């Protein structure tokens, strides 16, 4: 099993737009082969901080996810609202950063 942790900073006032853009991706991703869990968390003290916490059976399943239409749609719709992002893929023996 691997984890992906994606920390996002979004533009002030854009939480509603980001939520609307990401919801279809959350729902579709949870149905993907190899997806154990796929959750988005908001910081209750900082409305511009969001964190994806994902669990995947294998790196190959995660790689397949990167090419899905629903992830591409989320990237296009959410992109204008994102100020910065940090992505870490946590394997049992190492951490990848994207």
Residue 50: predicted pLDDT = 97
Each residue's pLDDT, cut to its tens digit, for the chain (98 residues) gives 999 999 999 999 999 999 999 999 999 999 999 999 999 999 999 999 999 999 999 999 999 999 999 999 999 999 999 999 999 999 999 999 98
Cα 32 to Cα 37: distance, rounded to the nearest angstrom? 10
Cα 50 to Cα 41: distance, rounded to the nearest angstrom? 6
Domains defined along the chain, listed by start: 2-97 (3.30.70.100)
What the block records as the tokens of 69 is: 């239409």
Other C-beta atoms closer than 10 Å to the C-beta of 40 total: 17
* Model pTM score: 0.92
């Amino acid at each position: 099993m691997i984890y992906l942790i994606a920390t996002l900073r979004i533009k002030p006032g854009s939480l509603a737009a980001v939520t609307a853009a990401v919801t279809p991706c959350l729902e579709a991703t949870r149905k993907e082969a190899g997806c154990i869990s796929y959750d988005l968390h908001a910081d209750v003290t900082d409305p511009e901080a969001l964190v994806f916490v994902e669990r995947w059976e294998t790196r190959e399943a995660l790689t397949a996810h990167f090419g899905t239409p629903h992830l591409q749609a989320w990237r296009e719709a959410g992109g204008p609202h994102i100020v910065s992002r940090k992505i870490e893929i946590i394997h049992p023996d190492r951490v990848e950063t994207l």
